Structure 1
Amino acid sequence: MSTQPVEPYGDPDALIPQPAMTREALREAVRHIRPLNLAQYDRELGEAFDQAVRTESIGWMRTFLIKWAVFVAIERQPARAAALRAAERTTGDPESSDQQVLEAQSEIARILDAAEKEIGLG
């Protein structure tokens, strides 16, 4: 009997451990696992900061950190990231049946739920 937890995308070969939910740790994680997304990360960080200052609300920064922590939680596990991309392709494919789209949407929800739990939400 295995002592490892049963998780559909629990990859013991994750590219990196889940980082702390700080802008520096998440930026380093994005740099490591998806460097092409680094410019988007930096742009969105600046936008979130500007909105936080403009509205006098830290909610913008919290939303930014959650979004990118979920992104890292998914992308650091290649099987989970591949499953998400496959499900997204299915939902966008006009040849997909209604049943296939529903199953893909359920898969996306499961993946996002697992990632949110991994970062301490839900």
Structure 2
Amino acid sequence: MPALTPDALRAAVEQLTPSRMPVFVRDLVDATTSAQQAQSLAPLRTFVHTWGVFVAIQRYPSRAARLRHLEEVVSGGVEDPADAITEIRKIHVEAEAEAGL
């Protein structure tokens, strides 16, 4: 797991999911702008948390694929989403712990 810094997270996103780089950069710019305007580090903390969890999940392709499947179940509206939501929460909790959040 990389350090929870914008540079380390950027390198991880570039390696794991290069297609997500435009979103990463946009989120970083938005967080930096919000932090400056609000004179608060909260937007940057949220950015690091969000992308730290994302990287922790993406580091394991099977876990990332499982999460995508569960999100499809929830958004599909065909099946009862309760079990899928529970498992999504579990994946996120595990990723947060792995990232040290």
TM-score bucket (shorter structure): over 0.9
Which of 31, 41, 44 is matched with 1:48 structurally? 31
Report the TM-score when normalising by structure 1: 0.80
RMSD: 0.7
Match of 2:47 among 64, 69, 85: 64
For structure 1, which runs of at least 5 residues remain unmatched after alignment? 1-17
Please tell me whether Structure 1 or Structure 2 has the larger radius of gyration of its CA atoms.
Answer: 1
Q: What SS does the aligned partner of 2:65 have? A: helix
- Give 2:20's aligned residue: 37
Question: Which residue of structure 1 lines up, in the alignment, with residue 96 of structure 2?
Answer: 116
Identity of aligned residues (%): 41
CA distance in 2, matches of 1:119, 1:93: 30
Q: How many angstroms apart in 2 are the aligned matches of 1:26 and 1:50?
A: 18
Cα distance in 1 for partners of 2:11, 2:100 equals 19
Tell me if 1:25 matches 2:8: yes
Out of 84, 98, 101, the residue aligned to residue 104 of structure 1 is 84
SS at match of 1:57: coil
5+ long unaligned stretches in structure 2: none
The alpha carbon displacement at 1:95 in A equals 1.9
- The number of residue pairs the alignment matches comes to 101
CA distance in 1, matches of 2:85, 2:77: 14
Distance 2:46 2:34 in 1: 11
Q: Which runs of 4+ in 1 moved over 3 A?
A: none
Question: How far apart, CA to CA, are the structure 1 residues paired with 2:42 and 2:72?
Answer: 31
Q: Given residue 30 of structure 1, which amino acid in structure 2 is its aligned partner?
A: V
| TM-score normalised to structure 2 length | 0.97
